[in-house]
Each structure stands twice: as structure tokens, then as C-alpha cells.
Amino acid sequence: MTGRAAAAKAEAKAKEKRNTLVAWVVVLGLFVGVPCAIGFATAGDGDTDVPTPTTEQRTATVPLLASAFEGQGICYGWRLYDWSTEISVGSNLGDGTSVRDDPRCPRWIEVSAAVRYTSSSSESQDSASIAVDGSPDIERADLYPIASGLDRFGLDGDAFVDEPGWAITRATTVLPLLAAEVGLAEPAPAAATPAPSGSPAPLPDAGNDLLRDRKGWLITAAVLLLVAVLFVVVGVRQRRRQLRGPVPAQRAGAGVAGRTREKA
């Protein structure tokens, strides 16, 4: 009996060690493997591509520039860069058509912006540089106040970083007004715009940037916390069982013998 009990005890210890090893493997997999996998999967979340103006923005801008050209005789256009790569160009001649070196535009003014997005792991900040160029007959002294005048309309570097497509098309529509202020042309006639119908739809809830940007990590942390609590509960229960120890089995006939002695 002693040999069987020792063998059973050794087998129980071996089984407990195997269970402990499996538990540690699961814990390491959850606390190390899962975060690493999520890190690799979300490594490309920080998109560094600069968005171009939408179709609606380009379509609405071209007629305004065409109207300004008819009233002032100056072509106006835009050019947007993702770092040094040109991603959008347009003018009063149409979307995708530049005012530079076009015989239909002897006089022209063009606003250009180079937007630079950096990855989330980079120490550099997102930035944008804005410039205003013109045809050879327009002096730099007249172009400088036009470029600096964009700030009055909220079209600074931050605006171009936040919404490059909107900012570049908006800046182009402001050029005729700024050109008239410096005396390059007469004020452009106001373009007729259709009256809005109905009430504008409410803006959607912007939400929390912390939750939106780190949603995957927060969910993983919550899951790992629940798993950790589960392992703690299971460990406590197993420890209590070990402290209680096995209940010794009663020898056969012990109770009967005791009652027999009482009768005697």
C-alpha cells in the first residue's frame, strides 16, 4: 500500500508540474505573443500618405477660378505635394491642368503646398510649407503679401497638415481677393452660389483620440487582465486543495471492530 501511495503521490506531482508548465506557456503567450502580434499588425496604422482634394472640392473650385479669370485676366491654380511628389494640380483651366507654361495663361498666380507626414515612431513632427508663385511679369514683392495674407483666412501650416485637400483648394479661391488687394487686378466679381436647402446635418461625434488610436491595445489589456484574474483564482483554489491534503482512507473493518469492542 505504501508503494502505491508513493506512486500516486509522485504521479500527482508530475501532473501538477505539467499543468503549471502549460499555464506558464499560456500566460507568456498572452502577455508576450499577443501584444507583439498586435504591434506588428498595427505597425502600419499611422498612414503617412497625404490626402488629395476630394472630387467635390476640385469640382467646386474650378468654376470659381474661371469666374475670377474672366473678371481679372489672371489665371489661378494650385499644386499639392506629398513631400516632393506632386499629387494634385488644377486651375481655372480645369482639374489636372496647370497654369504654368500654358499659352492661355500669360499671367498666372499659383499656390503650392508641400505636406510632410511622419510615422508615429518618428521624433519629427508633421509639417507643411506654403508658397505662392507667379508669371514673370508679376514681381516677388507682390507675391509675398499674397502668401502672407493666407494666414488671415486660417490657411497656415497647421491647416494644411490637418486638411491638405481642403486647405489647398480654399487657398486658391482666396488668391483673386489677395491679388486685388496688392493692386494686381480689379476685385473679382462674386460668383453666384446656390442657396443651401434644408438644415445642415449635425456633425458626428468626434470621439476620443486616445480610445480611437489605441483601441486595439486597450482591448488586449482588458483581455489579459481578465485572463490574469482567472489564473489567480485557479491558483488560489489549487493551493487550498494542496494545503488541505488528501483525506486518509479508513481501513476496512475499523468501524465494525470499534462497535464490537463497545458491545463487549
pLDDT in tens, 178-190: 999 999 999 977 6
CA dist., res. 161 & res. 51, Å (int): 10
Is residue 192's pLDDT more than 50? Answer: no
In this structure, the answer to whether residues 116 and 60 fall within a common structural domain is yes
In this structure, the answer to whether residues 88 and 167 fall within a common structural domain is yes
* Closest-CA residue to 80 (of 58, 47, 106): 58
| Residue 179 covered by a domain | yes
| Residue 164 covered by a domain | yes
Residue, of 193 and 161, whose pLDDT is higher: 161
Could you tell me the residue range of the domain that residue 92 belongs to? 55-191
CA dist., res. 119 & res. 110, Å (int): 30
In this structure, the answer to whether residues 61 and 181 fall within a common structural domain is yes
Rounded average pLDDT over 41-56 = 77
Is residue 195's pLDDT more than 60? Answer: no
pLDDT above 90 covers a percentage of the chain that reads 50
Task: Work out the pLDDT band at 172, boundaries 50, 70, 90.
Answer: very high
Could you identify the residue written with the cell 494650385?
78
pLDDT in tens, 123-135: 899 999 999 999 9
| Residue 176 covered by a domain | yes
| Residue 261 covered by a domain | no
- Domains identified in the chain, total number: 2
In terms of average pLDDT, the best of 66-80, 216-230, 247-261 is 66-80
**Whether the predicted model's global pTM rises above the 0.75 cut:** no
In this structure, the answer to whether residues 63 and 166 fall within a common structural domain is yes
Could you identify the residue written with the cell 476496512?
252
What's 150's DSSP letter?
G
Rounded average pLDDT over 162-181 = 97
CA dist., res. 94 & res. 134, Å (int): 18
Is residue 112's pLDDT more than 70? Answer: yes
Where are the strands (E) in 14-166, listed by range?
A: 75-82, 85-91, 94-95, 108-116, 127-134
